[in-house]
Structure 1
């Protein structure tokens, strides 16, 4: 295998997977998403490894580095933040590698929406509150399909994790309210979940934008809107004494 796309996790260097860390240690070439990946992870790279920050590179420049390494029989660790399958822009890289007959593997990672839940001590799927989690973003320079506009998704009143949108939080809350969430729906903004400088702002759809502006948070933050943030809920049937299953008889 020549190239490994590695999910580096949300920021805490200990939240990279064991496999991801091992491959990072073994790589001859490391290309990391410098605008988001914690640079502390580079401490895992072996001495002498060539290290590239893709924040200042174009797609073709990234592929050129991979192709050169592959021709020299070197191993490349392409390090993405969180899990690379979510807003990771890896499909375009993999397609180019396919055309060049360069082999690759994807190593999953801990997404920031999961680290955000941990920071909030939140369960996204509380019984009788929400059993669905929507991962999305507000339309910006990257368009969003018409049926996936926030206002349309809001009609479900499901738990929603909104990436890459905190700098447009006023628009986010307007869309959510227009789509059907009540103005008193609880919402949280978590900046840099799992990093030492992690910040948590809690509020409702009606006041979260002002609270977030007061803290000067306008990037690297997850928005979570859900009744699971402060709601009564039914207990899980999994552990109910009267609920039997293949591992335990009903009592």
Structure 2
């Protein structure tokens, strides 16, 4: 069942998303060589709770942290740890905020110091894939139009698309219908309608698309252990142009400092 949100509900999700954007900004201020990701997790949880929200992920199906922190070959659902970040790492930070009864969800992949040119291209193209997908999130299109846009841009640049993991609807529950894959055919799948709120989240690999689950029961990594990148926004389907509810603005501001 796909639940179309009212203007009032979308306004609340936007409030949740604003808190989430600021959380990502706080993480961006603190993420650097020598910092352990469990410190980032504590910063995120404290910020969310101080602003009247609760972490969407903590306790979700037993997940023990506020952030999913996925380094290098880890695609998504990685655990924060005490291991310090190192020069050349890439780090996907995925976070959700539950506020006034509604969730928001977004992810950003950070560079630690200088990364190699191949990985730099992976990050740039994956972020571009996100916005290519968002461009298709308009009423009258179909889920396959989003999926095709992401897949085409990734593969045209020589990268591969993770197929086992997908974006999703967002609202009163963190994961709602419909699923939003990052591969597919134009004109296929669920019809997009105004008021659908979707988390669009390309997960793109430098090497082959195959992934495996680690023994912790959560962390997903590339089978070939080559790097993977992940970017995500929560958006609402509109008539002519999708409205992006989450923001990377606070990340970009922090990274300029």
Q: Under a length normalisation based on structure 2, what TM-score does the superposition of the two structures give?
A: 0.32
Structure of larger gyration radius: 1
Higher relative contact order by CA 8 Å / sep ≥ 6: 1 or 2? 2
Q: Under a length normalisation based on structure 1, what TM-score does the superposition of the two structures give?
A: 0.33
